[in-house]
Structure 1
């Protein structure tokens, strides 16, 4: 490949062919510090690789700042930034590779299309507030938030370029008299007290960015960066053109004193009440072009006055929420309760057509319902309630009060009864699915789990003894130890008649044991290489995640066939943290804690696609033939095209009164009869058709 040419300001005439192992294909943009290239990994994954200018590579202070940039970018969740894949700050030309995110920068979008609509502005502000919360949460201050550092991805804005960011514990200090930043988007303290810049400076920059998105100019506008600097410190911002319902909040962000500005959490809370029309319809921009306008260099004034209006916009609206799993169960009082009416939305094409619905059986502030599907009903628990809903329209069929918190798992239909865990996991109670009345209850020993498989409840005692309990009667059917498993923790999967226990020894071998729950007989036993965890079964094969590294990141997907006793291992291009996985056919869908969603085909042994979502610490992904569904902590349900990995729909968030509380684990969305059943932190239960997520 011939050396590439670049016309960016300050860049070298000849560009390198490779950065590390990554082949540089074209130039995405050039700034004062380096050049960003579109590149590909050996496996073909698209990357954005930043290579610093040769003149700065010779500067020890700059290398220190570049190391700081890499460290800062790695700290921040990939849900709101471009995830770091690789970097080398000690190379002759230091470089950093991040995942390539299709979509224009905010600067490019405003330049080409003009100011954003009020609805798009609300979504942009909410997305940037979420991003700053994530950035500040790990102790990083960006210090250069501006339109060219905001990518408009299809699932929300991403903040990029941590080149002048500073971790709170950084030993690097700004030189006296040396300004670092872009004047139209710098806070007053960056001019007055650059050594004391904190998170509030990013909030000021957010306010300036919002004015730019709403008007095509900044709140302090001049052709001279020195005049802009004076205006930032002394003058009131010009908010002409900013929507009336957003202007007061933007003005608070632009307060002269840091302590007078809202925090990102306060911004998100206030944005939810800005207007009744507030939503989070996703903005899906055109694919990012490699012919990109040059980003604003540091200390360059920005001031555009575009009069063009936005053309056609793609908006995905909502009718349902993600199903948040992990229920809290308790003892049931048998008093009947009145049945509130369920609300119905979306006009049906025929009287018999399924209509999206929503219901709120519990009181405000009761938290997220935990639901499961069975016997033609939805069974849910919520704080001090257990109830059943009609899946067709959300009608409340019965409701009972409960008084004791149980384990965090939804109700389970087993043996024709609804099983719930009560008394902090010390009892199991079985309810009649038609009425909710108690049929039997049983004390349980200290145990590692209570999975139900078919008509059997498996109870593991502290000494490792397993008891199989008949779910229909509550009577013990068998009691025994499982060979090779000293304290078995069982998992089971829909459609599979077996239960699986696993344990790892010596950090290198995982033993997986398949047990017949009806008898306790071991059907097969295997010793597999690596630290593995079962995540699903299809056609008798078991799918497992393989962990590696000091933090147990998921490094590979393994498929084990007990019939042939053979394994297939597919290594991931990048190890992932906090992975939840779901299986559909030969494909395993992985959602990492930072929001990275990918599909791995164990038949072709290849990764099919990858998408950076805005879902930080989401649910287990579930899939049908057309889509992959993921729930988010804020109550959204996202739908991704199963073939292309493209986001095709999402519902709005519904956080409720306790929006500052984040669930440790989220339940899996429930698919049944081509519908998706979901719940939200505001206590609402939703149902939407799976056929057309773009119409949610």
Structure 2
């Protein structure tokens, strides 16, 4: 990933060449010393540099990493933990993480598995000899280099002869790979704790599954402490070895020297797949296990705003409710204390409003010249005007299209109308402290959210917002109604569907603003409900107050009078995707409560296809390690991971069609081209990417915007099509290019 305009050119005398990744602690760059040596430079995010507790942890990481030097660790070559932006440089190692290898290529077998196991034991030997306990040995902290694995990230390690940093109310580690003593007595862990984690990691490497995999960190912790590990698919002799490593009693686990002798007996050739094991042939490319991406920090944590909210998500710190920008997340439970995770509930994304799909290029005679709006030219427009103070919501910039115009959210206004051909701003409406994407546009009306213009963060979160209908030509307000502050509204066949301000009723309005009907937000699973629209019809999903407990009720609401039909009871955490073949398609997560820090990398286990009339449910298993933000397009579900991996799965049978590891992180949801049969994505820095929809093969990509604005780290990018013209939003900038000449883009100075 190339450097952005906001990136420095050098850190500590190391010239920065490109970004390698971004994590919760900071950004990792590929750097080069004056002598030409390549290093991975980790630079702490500015918001953490002001946190003295965080600085203490970073100093501890540097000190621990300096003490460790071996063939299977990435040594520290330089660091300045007291700099304005603390940084650390380690030797650059080419290789993907073990998590990426297993996700893309499937479980390890034969010589690959043996090489990993022995290398990790030797790495732990070097770490323990230095008087350090790693305490967070997990797949994302293991780099798979060509000459063997490298253990990285000593961010929560401790030196045995020093007091561990006390973090009140938190568990230090990653629950599925923690030892029992890390839960029971985290200050007293020894090197035997790393041996336990190694056992869990080897099970994951050999099968693609975790030996402890509860529905929440609490459940997982209970399993680690009291239950036997799940070792299905682990073959002998590895099975007997990991059973000893996973003994609950630290004293009963093997010493590293003994463990090394046992692991040398592992076979160097692959054995037949055991019953219940993940099939390594499900994913192509299993022979290429060495990659080019080096991560000195795990890829899971996205940068956060000062209010500690997720990227693209609006979070109410008192209720725990919020909206994830791309998929409009509705959080229905309080934030958890353990490891800072958040219990999330059902999601209904704006791209899931219809089941109608454009034809792909493979359905026609071949690509033709793109159809563009009359008078179209490449353009660029700012979605920000001067405004005092911070918006009350996270920045959810984005647009909804009409025939010849776009209606876009921005800072300092409620909505702007932009000419789709030239990018000229035709009008702006309102002075709003929020930046919520418009609901939609239909028949000359633009539907938007609005809050009082003089609101401030401390109290605006509790001022119920309004759903407003504006005249698309004159921006005149036609009508408005108070609606729920944290439930989205959607257009459906007869009007607009929302929730009442107390969130106790579904309510539908027609184009004139008249109330069509209301329906109680009640179901057998619970009375915490959100609305949604699938293929033009109104629906609802209802859960208990704690969505991780119990089940989910799927409601079909009669468009004419709102009569409720409870058509199915589904597993907790089930999320709607859309409609395929007249049946409602939903997605079931693997872990209801345990989600990634970025909120966009959850694993999923199956699809559900529900008959909307009879309620009959068909369960469709997903391939192992299917994860990411899910998007349904034309009968295929595309899973997009924060690290740039895109996976295509056929909705009808759960078959993986292809999986590609792109070089673009933090990608938007895809949009499908009518003319070219491609999928288009954009990352948060304005870099566009096109993949072949049928094969995932890269078609083209562009460079990042020269200056997308100061909000790129806080916003979720988006892309849409107006005819064939690509319209993308990154940071607080919207721009448009043609798909056959995507690199032709105007500079800010020449934009219309």
Provide TM-score, normalisation by structure 1. 0.51
**Matching residue of 1:428:** 467
* Residues in 2 aligned to 1:352 and 1:460: alpha-carbon distance in whole angstroms: 36
Q: Does the 8 A contact of 2:410 with 2:435 survive in 1?
A: no
Q: How many residues align?
A: 421
Which string of whole-angstrom CA distances, capped at 9 and with x for unpartnered residues, describes residues 294-328 of structure 1?
xxxxxxxxxxxxxxxxxxxxxxxxxxxxxx8699x
Residue 538 and residue 695 in structure 1: after superposition, are their counterparts in 2 closer, same or farther (change >3 A)?
A: farther
SS at match of 1:404: coil
**Matching residue of 1:359:** 380
SS at match of 2:489: coil
**Matching residue of 2:638:** 589
The offset of 1:477, in angstroms, is 1.5
Residue 399 and residue 326 in structure 1: after superposition, are their counterparts in 2 closer, same or farther (change >3 A)?
A: farther
The offset of 1:426, in angstroms, is 1.8
**Matching residue of 1:515:** 557
- In the alignment, structure 1 segments of 5+ residues that lack a partner are 1-30, 77-83, 85-95, 99-104, 106-147, 150-159, 174-286, 294-323, 328-347
Greater C-alpha radius of gyration:
1
Residue 574 and residue 648 in structure 1: after superposition, are their counterparts in 2 closer, same or farther (change >3 A)?
A: same
Say which of 148, 151, 155 aligns to 1:167.
Answer: 155
The offset of 1:583, in angstroms, is 0.6
* Residues in 2 aligned to 1:288 and 1:533: alpha-carbon distance in whole angstroms: 31
- Which segment drifts farther, 513-522 or 458-467? 458-467
Which string of whole-angstrom CA distances, capped at 9 and with x for unpartnered residues, describes residues 154-206 of structure 1?
xxxxxx96446533534379xxxxxxxxxxxxxxxxxxxxxxxxxxxxxxxxx
Q: Does 1:680 align with 2:722?
A: no
**Matching residue of 1:630:** 681
**Matching residue of 1:393:** 422
* Residues in 2 aligned to 1:368 and 1:43: alpha-carbon distance in whole angstroms: 31
Q: Does 1:569 align with 2:620?
A: yes
* Residues in 2 aligned to 1:672 and 1:349: alpha-carbon distance in whole angstroms: 11
The offset of 1:378, in angstroms, is 1.0
Residue 393 and residue 486 in structure 1: after superposition, are their counterparts in 2 closer, same or farther (change >3 A)?
A: same
Q: Does 1:538 align with 2:568?
A: no
Q: Does the 8 A contact of 1:354 with 1:689 survive in 2?
A: no
- In the alignment, structure 2 segments of 5+ residues that lack a partner are 1-69, 74-93, 162-284, 292-324, 329-368, 388-394, 452-459, 596-601, 746-752
**Matching residue of 1:51:** 115
Q: Does the 8 A contact of 1:513 with 1:524 survive in 2?
A: yes
The root-mean-square deviation of aligned C-alpha atoms, in Å, is 4.7
The offset of 1:641, in angstroms, is 1.7
* Residues in 1 aligned to 2:420 and 2:371: alpha-carbon distance in whole angstroms: 18
The offset of 1:501, in angstroms, is 2.4
1:21-170 paired onto structure 2 within 5 Å:
45=106, 51=115, 57=121, 61-62=125-126, 71=136, 74-75=139-140, 162-163=150-151, 166-167=154-155, 169-170=157-158
Q: Does the 8 A contact of 2:647 with 2:660 survive in 1?
A: yes
SS at match of 1:669: strand
Q: Does the 8 A contact of 2:667 with 2:683 survive in 1?
A: yes
The offset of 1:534, in angstroms, is 0.8
SS at match of 1:619: coil
* Residues in 2 aligned to 1:651 and 1:73: alpha-carbon distance in whole angstroms: 34
**Matching residue of 2:532:** 491
The offset of 1:481, in angstroms, is 0.6
SS at match of 2:574: strand
Q: Does 1:644 align with 2:687?
A: no
* Residues in 2 aligned to 1:693 and 1:463: alpha-carbon distance in whole angstroms: 46
1:153-302 paired onto structure 2 within 5 Å:
162-163=150-151, 166-167=154-155, 169-171=157-159
Residue 524 and residue 540 in structure 1: after superposition, are their counterparts in 2 closer, same or farther (change >3 A)?
A: farther
Q: Does the 8 A contact of 1:591 with 1:618 survive in 2?
A: yes
SS at match of 1:394: coil
**Matching residue of 2:608:** 559
* Residues in 2 aligned to 1:691 and 1:524: alpha-carbon distance in whole angstroms: 47
Q: Does the 8 A contact of 1:370 with 1:679 survive in 2?
A: yes
SS at match of 2:125: helix
* Residues in 1 aligned to 2:290 and 2:485: alpha-carbon distance in whole angstroms: 61
Q: Does 1:620 align with 2:663?
A: no
Residue 364 and residue 643 in structure 1: after superposition, are their counterparts in 2 closer, same or farther (change >3 A)?
A: same
* Residues in 2 aligned to 1:587 and 1:594: alpha-carbon distance in whole angstroms: 21
SS at match of 2:619: strand
Q: Does the 8 A contact of 1:72 with 1:167 survive in 2?
A: no
The offset of 1:420, in angstroms, is 1.2
